[in-house]
A = this chain, B = another copy of it.
Amino acid sequence: MAPKKKKARQQRPLENEILDPEIVLKEVRRCKALLDKQKPIDESTVDLSAYRVVKEMTGDKVAKEIHDLFLKCAESILAGNSFKFDVPSRAAGNQHYVPELDRIVLKQNTSERSFANVSQVRKTAIMTRVLSLVHEVTTKGIHVTKRDLFYTDVKLFKKQEESDAVLDDAACMIGCPRSCLNVVAADKGLVVGRLQFREDGDLIDCTRMGVTGKAIPAYIDKITEIRSDAEFVLLVEKDAAYNRLAEDRFYNQFPCILITGKGQPDVATRMFLSRLKQELKIPVLAFVDSDPYGLKILSVYMSGSKAMSYDSASLTTPDIKWLGLRPSDLDAYALPDQCRLPMTQKDIDMGKQLLKEEFVLKNPAWVRELERMLQTKQKAEIQALSAFGFQFVTKVYLPRKLRQGDWI
């Protein structure tokens, strides 16, 4: 045990950590250079003709598409046929992972929703109502929440899940991401650091947002003029670690942008990260808990959730690097036993499930880490690093990780 203890002590020189950005950021810059060399995926070389790919649209364009949909319905009725919609299927069987794009797309299966069919009449009525409401908001150029939409006709929609689901169907049918329908979900993400942008015309300077930072807007289309001198994005799973980094103004020492989705990220945070990566072309380093749930959250940022697969382009951020907290860190940083938690059976099942998933399998280093977690049956939250002192994470752990290029 003696050598291990010695190693543990070596790993904690709170005083002597190298903090010179020029040294610490070398590996980050190498990563950025690789990104720059990476040829952008030319979507035209990928044969997507067999798939349904959605594209961004302006409000006017959405309104026009809805107009056209109803014209088609009117023609069908006038021709003596039924009032019906062809709704793309969002079921698992209609989903397809495209490795070249590293995204899930939809196949072309559609199902008919006909007003004349007793089992479909209600869904058809809901779709009609939703399309008419979306037409109203896109024409007026305002945004509403899913809850607003539901409440315009509680009697028809009955449950919010029903109007929400039809809303996704409507976006699929129109062929745009749901965000283009001007119907948003609640937002909860935060951003702080070396970033400026305009939100609805207001200049937002995230270097001057106090310690809490700026709430990430649900209205992604109102964000313009993104500017930044950050060298990387640090994606933090939970707000406790985010708060620590924000209060210590970590981004002033190592130019970066701090983002948190406060656990399972909402759509707004995922779109915001995706937009940042696309525009700034800097590495995204993830700082999540060392448990299956942390990896699951990473996968939501990276490949999107199955329910929203039709909209994966604007929602996903491929190529996120897993910086920490990794299962191997537990020993490498000699995390005391009392800060490691035993995995529950549910954790273990979830971990085994993750070992079969595409986004893990394609990265051997991730597979090794996950196998190590399942073998040791130990997990730990980012907060476990507080055991070495509350500022260990900003003064030792992260600078060292960055300097060593210790991400996978």
**Residues of chain A having any CB pair with chain B under 8 Å:** 136-137, 140, 142-145, 147-156, 184, 186-188, 190, 198-200, 202-204, 208-219, 222, 238-240, 243-244, 247-248, 262, 337-339, 341, 381, 383-384, 386-387, 390-391
Copies of this subunit: 2
Chain A interface, >50% SS class = mixed
Would you call B212 and A219 a contact (CB within 8 A)?
Answer: yes
Residues in B whose Cβ lies below 8 Å from that of A238 = 147
A143 interface neighbour in B186, B188, B247, B341, Cβ under 8 Å = B247
Residues in B whose Cβ lies below 8 Å from that of A200 = 210-211, 247
Would you call A153 and B383 a contact (CB within 8 A)?
Answer: no
Would you call B142 and A386 a contact (CB within 8 A)?
Answer: no
A338 interface neighbour in B153, B243, B337, Cβ under 8 Å = B153
A369 CA / B359 CA spacing, docked (Å):
55
A386 interface neighbour in B152, B187, B190, Cβ under 8 Å = B152
Whose C-beta in chain B lies nearest to the C-beta of A199? B210
A199 interface neighbour in B140, B211, B239, B384, Cβ under 8 Å = B211
Residues in B whose Cβ lies below 8 Å from that of A222 = 210-211
A251 CA / B238 CA spacing, docked (Å):
32
Select the residue from A145, A156, A203 with max chain B CB neighbours within 10 A.
Answer: A145
A216 interface neighbour in B203, B212, B339, Cβ under 8 Å = B212
Would you call B339 and A154 a contact (CB within 8 A)?
Answer: yes
Smallest Cβ distance from A22 to chain B, in angstroms?
Answer: 27
Whose C-beta in chain B lies nearest to the C-beta of A208? B202
A213 interface neighbour in B188, B215, B262, Cβ under 8 Å = B215
A156 CA / B154 CA spacing, docked (Å):
50
Smallest Cβ distance from A147 to chain B, in angstroms?
Answer: 4
Residues in B whose Cβ lies below 8 Å from that of A136 = 390
Would you call B151 and A339 a contact (CB within 8 A)?
Answer: yes
Smallest Cβ distance from A97 to chain B, in angstroms?
Answer: 33
Would you call B153 and A387 a contact (CB within 8 A)?
Answer: yes
Whose C-beta in chain B lies nearest to the C-beta of A147? B240
Residues in B whose Cβ lies below 8 Å from that of A151 = 339, 381, 383-384, 386-387
Smallest Cβ distance from A359 to chain B, in angstroms?
Answer: 27
| 5 interchain residue pairs of minimum CB distance | A199-B210, A155-B338, A151-B383, A212-B217, A145-B240
19 A-B pairs with C-beta separation under 8 A? A142-B247, A142-B248, A142-B390, A142-B391, A143-B247, A144-B390, A148-B240, A148-B390, A152-B386, A153-B387, A155-B338, A184-B243, A186-B240, A188-B262, A199-B209, A200-B247, A202-B208, A212-B218, A213-B215
